[in-house]
Amino acid sequence: MTGYASMDTLQLQQELSALMQVYEDYQKMKLALNMARGRPDKEQMDLAQGLLSCLTPEDMILADGSDVRNYGFLEGIPEARQLIADLMGHTPAEVLICGSSSLNIMYDVIAHAFTHGIDGCTPWAKLDNVKFLCPVPGYDRHFGISEHFGCEMIAIPMNAEGPDMDLVEQYVNNDPSVKGLWSIPKYSNPSGITYSDEVVRRFAQLKPAAKDFRIFWDNAYIIHDLYDHHDVLLNLLEECKKYGSEDMVYELMSTSKVSFAGAGIAAIASSESNIKKLAKQFGVQTIGWNKVNMLSHVKFFKNKDGVLEHMKKHAALLRPKFAAVLDILNAEVSDIATWHNPNGGYFISFNAMEGCAKRIVQLCKEAGVVLTGAGATYPYGKDPQDKNIRIAPTSVTIDELKQAATLFCLCVKIATVEKMLEK
């Protein structure tokens, strides 16, 4: 607690000079810490090392007699489709395994929509305006894809339940140029919240003005619980089936933060009819994805329970890291900032006093702690209130995290006092 709210100008000035002295001492320490990377740490990836050596020559022949080392199975080998379908709560026919990066799938699907169109609709490249709804704060790489293709990005505020659904409905149901919506429904990047049942139901009941509108339901943190009392997300595809709207959903996931980042297996789930169309479309760009990698995932993890047991080991490594940061935030800056204590995922989304985020990131950088750029969690890299900072505690040691979080709080205090003195 800072008690800044009750300080007068003189007290704030004295506080600032005391804080600056401590800050200068930190600068002399020449720290080199990084809380910007939303990556798994080495010890998490070590847990899956056996995946690289688990296959034997006998494993090469699949149950149906085909050789996994050869071309074929464009939709993914049945064993992997079953595993991922079980994790996602779908049937294998609703799941396509392709490659090792879900971001890559999203990019390809959007590129195809631009060049060839979706479901016989006009290719997006031929339209004057293509709009994407972007719940904020959100994932910078989603926004990067929309920006790359020249889409207009419309920020949709997130609340504790998910995106502002009144606004989503207003846009999607009335504006035919709204073609896509980014969403990270479980342990959202970066806010850490999980969409409520009510929000998921409202998604399922959307009546898009554009036939080729798609929800990019990026379930990147679908099984990334930190605690036994984890969040539970309603199954959007199942909800959609009640309204015949399942073609509207592209759900994504990968094992980037289960096995190896960028070298796991990635999947897209949708209606069976969409999956057939996607398989045909991907069939132009490849004769088959890396099925050997799919098989090693199946052999190593065995089944859904095997994956969930594995994720418990990840959680045991990650819990103390999140706790280290949250304890320090709570002790130091709870009266001048807000954040959500996530039950899973990879981030803590920190909201400073308005107009302070850039200054905090700059102060941290000049004292040797790298944070994700202020604004990165907003379309075009512009946070209109300049207050959101994404903290990534996963790939730093606990001792380093404690040091980085303490310095971060010091910078939050400095930027806050400076801002208060401006008023």
Residues that bind ligand PLP (CB under 6 A): 38, 101-104, 139, 184, 189, 218, 220, 254, 256, 261-262, 266
d(C-alpha 292, C-alpha 56), whole Å: 11
Query: Please, what's the b/e burial string for 179-204 (b: 16 or more CB within 10 A of its CB; e: otherwise)?
Result: bbbbbbbbbbbbbbbbbbeebbbbbb
Comparing CB distances to ligand PLP, the nearer of 196 and 256 is 256
Give the SS3 label for residue 390. strand
Under 8 Å between Cβ of 410 and 19: yes
Comparing CB distances to ligand PLP, the nearer of 139 and 350 is 139
In the structure encoding, which two tokens stand for residue 30, read together? 């020449």
User: Residue with CB nearest ligand PLP?
Assistant: 254
Q: CA torsion angle for 236, 239, 242, 243 (degrees, to 10)?
A: -50
Comparing CB distances to ligand PLP, the nearer of 15 and 225 is 225
Residues whose CB falls within 8 Å of the CB of residue 106, separated by 6 or more in sequence, listed in order = 142, 145, 216, 218, 250, 252
Comparing CB distances to ligand PLP, the nearer of 102 and 416 is 102
d(C-alpha 134, C-alpha 416), whole Å: 28
Least spacing, CB of residue 241 vs ligand PLP, in Å:
25
Is the CA virtual torsion 157, 159, 161, 167 positive or negative? negative
Least spacing, CB of residue 325 vs ligand PLP, in Å:
18
d(C-alpha 306, C-alpha 222), whole Å: 15
Which of 402, 417, 76 minimizes the C-alpha distance to 265?
76
Least spacing, CB of residue 8 vs ligand PLP, in Å:
44
Least spacing, CB of residue 218 vs ligand PLP, in Å:
5
Least spacing, CB of residue 34 vs ligand PLP, in Å:
15
Least spacing, CB of residue 104 vs ligand PLP, in Å:
6
d(C-alpha 188, C-alpha 73), whole Å: 32
Comparing CB distances to ligand PLP, the nearer of 223 and 261 is 261
Least spacing, CB of residue 101 vs ligand PLP, in Å:
3
Comparing CB distances to ligand PLP, the nearer of 157 and 262 is 262
Comparing CB distances to ligand PLP, the nearer of 143 and 300 is 143
Least spacing, CB of residue 190 vs ligand PLP, in Å:
9
Give the SS3 label for residue 135. strand
Residue 166 sits at the vertex; the CA angle it makes with 164 and 171, to the nearest 5 degrees, is 100
Comparing CB distances to ligand PLP, the nearer of 182 and 408 is 182
CB-count exposure of residue 265 (10 Å: 0-12, 13-18, 19+)? buried
